[in-house]
Structure 1
Amino acid sequence: MPFRRNNLSRDGGTHRAWRPAHSWSADVGPGLITIASDNDPSGIATYTLAGAWYGFDLLWVCVLSYPSTVALQLIAARVAAITGRGLTSNMRQHYSPLFFYFAVARFLFANAFNIAVDILAMSAALQVFFGGSLAWLAVLSGCASLLLQWSISYARYAQAIKWLTLAMFAYVGVVMLVAVPWQTVGIRFLIPRFAWTEDYIAMLIAVLGTTVSPYLLFAQAEQEVQDEGRRGAARPQEALNRAMRKMRRDTLLRTALSNVGALFVMIAAAATLHLMQRTHSGDTVIMARVLEPLAHGYARHVLAIALIGSTLLALPPLAGSAAQAVAGSFHYGRSDRVRDKKIGWWLVVVMVIGISTAVALTLRDVEPVRALYWSALVNGMTVTPVLVLLVLLSSKREAVGNLKAHWVLRALSWVATIATAVALLAHLWLEFA
């Protein structure tokens, strides 16, 4: 089994400690690859369809959700920093098994399906260049991703893959080239426009599901746990406050980059597919039409490169956070080696489930974009219970002592939680009433 070196000792010196390479799955934090890893193929497809079907009407979601998304990530990191445990371990300790296992099962299901549809998208992208069977491409691409996750640290992995994500800037180029009604865009940034229809509410839920991503919360918490483990002993209050301030700056920037990327995709799709009335059934060809003003006959290839890069960067945190959540359901003590081993094997299980599901979707001839949209919808429809447990955990005195999250953070987090719940209830009412 491949290993990598960690040079930080508990006393601040250096020593040679070997850790499994796949343990990087518990070490996913801020970086230059934010736009692509946060806006995976499921997000790109959902934002494209939102712009194509509803124009600029849903831009406000990416803008108004920003404070709440930041607040949720800060709460997740704060709980982990204070307790020294990830969200799964904290939920196991402070909630009944019924609520805890429901949250873990929901997270595993949503992430596995997200992995499956992202693999399906990467397969469709590879097919643009090489042709061949979509099912076999799904197997090959999924196994290649698993091999990279298992054998190469994320820092080295991302350094190479991140150059593929430059294709994401094609959406910025499209927005600069086409005629965009900026006054309308400015209004839709801040003033919500609702349509009391089942399809609109479903799209709203899907956009919320890609914007308020649960896997980012779990990954943020596990990153803080790993940082704490590398530092060794618990930090004094002043050091904790400094770490929280740095983490807050990182989260503000990372989330802003992610949401700006989503806005450009949605604006480009609205200005090309919606205003030009070129909306049809969702598939990769229709998605590529967004990029035609810039890439012309190479639009499909540019989109394919963006999908491949974003998938390779998004699969590790998706699979890693799911593996952490399941491994955290069991008591593994404080041993890094035992913890890494359990996370590593669960990483394999989650990826195998994702690959198998992707192959099943290809055999059923499911359109990739339709599957990507379904994944975002599943995330949005099932995220509310996880958010409730997280916000309640941040105010539990037995969990965080006197260092409860600031009331502003809790209020913003409750806004996101209530919004996802109201959207889900509205969708159920429209569907069954």
Structure 2
Amino acid sequence: MRFLHNKPDSKVQGSARPAHSWAADFGPGLVTTASDNDPSGLATYTLAGAWYGFDMLWVCVLTYPSTVALQLIASRVAAITGRGLTVNMREHYSPLFFYFAVWRFLLANTFNIAVDVLAMGIALRVFCGGSLAWLTFASGGASLALQWCIPYARYARVLKWLTLAMFAYVGVILVVDVPWQAIAIRSFVPRVVWDEGYMTMLIAVLGTTVSPYLLFAQAEQEARDAEEGAARRNALNSKMSLVRRNTLLRTALSNAVSICVMIAAAATLHLLPGTFAGETSPMAGVLEPLAHGYARHVLALALFGSASLALPPLAGSAAEAVASSIHWERGERRDRRIAGLLAAIMAAGMAIATALAASHVEPAKALYWSAVVNGMTVTPVLVLLVLLSSKRGAVGDLSAHWSLRALSWLAVIATACVVISHAVLRLG
């Protein structure tokens, strides 16, 4: 689980609305507990455990060094240049490759927003009943209103407590019979099956573990700090030391929660039929050994809390990426435009979410396929990022350490191989 990077609430001046400041300055740089383990991630890890038992634990363990390295590289590039990833990529790479990466990132974020809004509607329905379509639309509208009218840090102080429901997965592990020896083996010894279903799930798990939008978000935060003078060359080493420590801890906590979800699902649901039966099954079934008849309610709290905290950085990073690709200069006018983009992206996500609810799409499937889309889009972004970290035109003689680049290239190769293997199996 990853905790908030809080900044002073506002640089709002005059009559500017809080959303203007949040969208352009605050939100894209936040990395929250929920943004790493949002409903899409919870569904993916649950299904991974239910379908494949402990066989995919190694993904969360062995990708940890590469995930940390990618975040550190994104932070370093932004700290040195004082600009986010999108601006740097636009200036140093072919427009065709750049726009392909950015727009795939935008589409993935929009779909992720849609399924998270759908998850909020499902959570509300558990407590109050009613039409899922209307509850989904209302949830998205409420999220947008909060983003527009209230600084994120203020309402996150309240909503973040809902994500404590995620620790119920730890409780499940403590009350059920868990084969710790098998878990230890599967956590460090990869087991790869040459099967289309397995490769699709592997893409999904990678998509939630190495999330593209987290890299954009972290870079934007560092770029903002650099503008305020925090990233001058004579202070870069001490600054990056703090970033390194925070990233190591946040990523470890985030991956630990992911592992707990997968273990709990494997211990309770593996090989059981009816994986997609019902709106919150099998996700609620994982929690039944601990919460019994209240499992659906505990899950609903986790879904609502994680979605409400993940939506702002999802929409904010997407809006910032689009703004940076259109050559908008920084300033109050740009902030207002980004606020408009954020609202448009949220509106698109709400429309897709409402359509999914009205068409009775199985929510677990929608959440899972959002993770698949993220996994499919991550490779082009990672390639541009790692190349940028050693490009003298961008970072001068302060290129990232070879060990960070090596770990990052390992992530690039791994994600590319999985996507290519999936394509080969699908076509074959």
Q: TM-score range by the shorter chain?
A: over 0.9
Matched with 1:222 is: 220
Pairwise CA distance, 1:333 = 2.4
1: CA distance, partners of 2:108 / 2:10: 33
Q: SS of the counterpart of 2:228?
A: helix
Cα deviation for residue 228 of structure 1 reads 1.8
Contact 2:79 2:226 in 1 (8 A): yes
- Quick check: 1:426 aligned with 2:414? no
**1:303 — aligned with what?**
299
Q: TM-score, normalised by structure 1?
A: 0.93
Q: Could you say what secondary structure the match of 2:398 adopts?
A: coil
Residue number in structure 1 paired with 2:45: 47
Cα distance in 2 for residues equivalent to 1:18 and 1:401: 40
Q: Give the whole-Å Cα distance in 2 for the aligned partners of 1:334 and 1:327.
A: 10
Aligned CA RMSD, in angstroms, stands at 1.9
2:81: which partner in 1?
83
Contact 1:52 1:270 in 2 (8 A): yes
TM-superposed CA distance for 1:169, in Å, is: 0.7
Say if 2:28 and 2:316, in contact at 8 Å, map to a contact too: no
The SS at the match of 2:249 is helix
224 and 378 in structure 1: CA distance in 2 versus 1, 3 angstrom threshold? same
Aligned match of 2:359: 364
On the 8 A contact 2:101/2:380 being kept in 1, the answer is yes
Residues 30-62 of structure 1 deviation map (CA, whole Å, 9 limit, x = unaligned) = 88x843221000000000000000000000000
Displacement, 1:241? 1.1
In the TM superposition, what is the alpha-carbon distance from 1:27 to its structure 2 partner?
A: 2.5
CA 4–419 in structure 1, closer or farther in 2 if over 3 Å, else same: closer
Other-structure match for 2:285: 289
> Residues 20 and 340 of structure 1 are in contact (CA less than 8 Å); yes or no, is this contact kept in structure 2?
no
Contact 1:172 1:264 in 2 (8 A): yes
The match for 1:12 is none
The answer to whether the Cα contact below 8 Å between 1:214 and 1:383 also exists between their aligned partners in 2 is yes
Partner of 2:3: none
| Contact kept? 1:55, 1:274, Cα under 8 Å | yes
* Aligned counterparts, 1:227-246, within 5 A: 227-231=225-229, 235=232, 237-246=233-242
Map 1:112-191 → 2, pairs under 5 A? 112-191=110-189
Aligned position for 1:338: 333
Which letter does structure 2 place at the counterpart of 1:114?
A: N
Deviations 1:240-268 (A, max 9, x none): 11111111111111111110010010000
Contact 2:287–2:295 (CA under 8 A) maintained in structure 1: yes
Q: Does the CA-based 8 Å contact 1:209-1:377 persist in structure 2?
A: yes
Q: Which residue of structure 1 aligns with residue 60 of structure 2?
A: 62
Question: 1:5 offset after TM fit, Å?
Answer: 4.1
CA shift for structure 1 position 101: 1.1
Q: Is residue 2:98 matched to residue 1:100?
A: yes
Are the structure 2 counterparts of residues 402 and 20 from structure 1 closer, same or farther at C-alpha, using a change threshold of 3 Å?
farther
- The one-letter code matched in structure 2 to 1:21 is P
Per the alignment, in what secondary structure is the counterpart of residue 231 of structure 1? coil
Count of residues paired in the alignment:
418
CA contact (8 A) 1:120 1:368 kept: yes
Pick which of 323-332 and 367-376 moved more.
Answer: 323-332
Which of 371, 394, 400 aligns to 1:399? It is 394
Report the residue type matching 1:91 in the other structure.
M
What letter is aligned with 1:35? T
Task: Tell me how far apart the structure 1 counterparts of residues 103 and 179 of structure 2 sit (CA, whole Å).
Answer: 44
Cα separation, 2, equivalents of 1:92 and 1:270:
43
Aligned to 2:385: 390
Structure 2 letter corresponding to 1:398: G
Q: C-alpha distance in 2, partners of 1:278/1:264?
A: 22
Letter in 2 for 1:152: I
Mapped partners of 1:47, 1:355: distance in 2: 24
Q: How far apart are residue 162 of structure 1 and its match?
A: 0.8
Aligned-pair CA distance for 1:278: 5.0
Matches of 1:115 and 1:99 in 2, distance apart? 24
Between the aligned partners of 2:29 and 2:184, the Cα distance in structure 1 is 29
2:4 aligned partner: none
Q: Which residue of 2 aligns with 1:73?
A: 71
Relative to structure 2, which stretch is displaced further, 175-184 or 358-367? Answer: 358-367
Quick one: distance in 1 between partners of 2:327 and 2:122?
40
Give CA-to-partner distance per residue, 1:389-430, whole Å, 9 cap, x none: 111111111111111111111110011111010001111111
Matched, 1:249 2:245: yes
Letter in 2 for 1:348: A
Q: Which amino acid aligns with 2:37?
A: N
Contact 2:29 2:313 survives alignment (8 Å): no
- Of residues 258, 263, 281, the one that matches 1:267 is 263
Paired AA for residue 269 in structure 1: A
1:30 and 1:254 in contact (8 A); partners too: no
C-alpha separation in 2, matches of 1:21 and 1:189: 44
Structure 1 residues 46-88: Cα deviation after superposition (integer angstroms, max 9, x where no partner): 0000000000000000000000001111111111111111111
Distance 1:108 1:29 in 2: 13
AA aligned to 1:69 is T
Separation of aligned partners in 2, 1:338 and 1:402: 34
Once the two structures are superposed, what CA deviation does each residue of 1:6-42 show, in whole Å capped at 9, x if it has no partner? 49xxxxxxxx8986422324424888x8432210000
- Change over 3 Å in CA distance of 1:43–1:192 after alignment to 2: same
SS of the residue 1:285 aligns to: coil
Code of the residue aligned with 1:366 in structure 2: it is V
Whole-angstrom distance in 1 between the partners of 2:287 and 2:396 = 52
Q: Which of 355, 368, 376 is matched with 1:373 structurally? A: 368
Deviation at 1:229, TM superposition (A): 2.3
**Is 2:328 aligned against 1:327?**
no
Once the two structures are aligned, what percentage of the paired residues are identical? Answer: 67
Does the 8 Å contact 1:34/1:258 carry over to 2? no
Secondary structure, counterpart of 2:325 in structure 1? coil
CA distance in 1, matches of 2:398, 2:275: 52
**TM-score normalised over the length of structure 2:** 0.94
SS in structure 2 at match of 1:78: helix
